[in-house]
Structure 1
Amino acid sequence: MTEDVRAGAHEGGLRRADLRRGWGRFVDVLIQLVRWFGLVCAALLAIHVILTIGSANPDNGITQFVTSVADPLALGFQDLFTPEDPQLAVLLNYGIAAIFWLFITSIATKILAAVR
C-alpha cells in the first residue's frame, strides 16, 4: 500500500508539472498572438497614413480595403484633432491610434507574462 501512495503522489506531481508546462505554453502562444494582433493593427493604420499622405488613388481596391479596415481600428481617434489640412488630420489621428495599439498590446503582454 505504501508503494501505491508513493506512485499516486508521484503521478499527481507529474500531472501538476504537466499542467504548469501546458499553461505556460498556452500563455506564451497567447502573448505571441496578442503581439502580432497589435502589430498588424498598428501596421494597417500606418499604411493608411502612408496611402493618404501619398495621395493614393481612393478608387483602388487596396486603398479602399486599408481605409475600410483602418477606420474601425482607429477606435475613436479619427476626429481627435481637426486641423484644416486633411492629410495632417490623418497623420495625427491614425498615427496616434497606431501608437495606442502598440502601447495597449505591450501592456497586455506584460500582464499575460505575469500570469504565466
Structure 2
Amino acid sequence: MEEEVAARGDHGKVRAVRTVCAVIDIVCWVFALVLLLHILLVVAGANMGNGFASFITSWAGGVDLGLDGLFTPADERMAVLLNEGVAALLWLAIGALLTNLISRVALPVDERRAWYRRSVRP
C-alpha cells in the first residue's frame, strides 16, 4: 500500500492529513481529560484553594463548551458531574467527527482508518 501512495505522489498529503487528525485527537482528548480530572477533584471534595486544583478548575471552565448551567440539581457535585461529563463526551465526539470528516474529504479510500472491515470469503 505504501508503494501505491508513493507512486501517486500523495505521501506528503497523507502524512499531513494524518498529522492534523492526530493533533485534533490529542487536543480533544486533553480537554476531555481536564474535565474528567475536574469532576474527580470536585466529587472527591478536594481543596479548591490548592494551586493545582485551582489551575484545573480554571482550565475546565474554559473548555466546558458553555454547559456550566445545563443541569441544575441541588447538589453542586452532581451538577459538576453532569455538566462537565456531558462536555467531556462532546469533546470526544467532536474530535471523532472532525477527524472522520477530514479523513473522508482529504484521503483516498485505501488510506482511511478502518474502524470496521468485513471480509467476505467465497
TM-score, normalised relative to structure 1: 0.83
Q: Which residue, 11, 18, 28 being the options, matches 1:21? A: 11
The size of the alignment, in residue pairs, is: 101
Matched, 1:47 2:42: no
Q: Which runs of 4+ in 1 moved over 4 A?
A: none
Counterpart for residue 3 of structure 2? none
Give per-residue Cα distances to partners, 1:25-76, cap 9 Å, x unaligned. Answer: 0000111111111100000000000000001101111100000000010011
* Map 1:33-112 → 2, pairs under 5 A: 33-112=23-102
Query: Percent identity at matched positions?
Result: 35
Larger Cα Rg: Structure 1 or Structure 2? 1
User: Structure 1, unaligned stretches of length 5 or more?
Assistant: 1-15
Q: 1:113 offset after TM fit, Å?
A: 1.1
Paired residue secondary structure (2:68) = helix
Paired residue secondary structure (1:78) = coil
CA–CA distance in structure 2, aligned partners of residues 61 and 28 of structure 1: 36
CA–CA distance in structure 1, aligned partners of residues 93 and 101 of structure 2: 13
User: Structure 2, unaligned stretches of length 5 or more?
Assistant: 1-6, 108-122
TM-score, normalised relative to structure 2: 0.79
| RMSD across aligned positions (CA) | 1.4
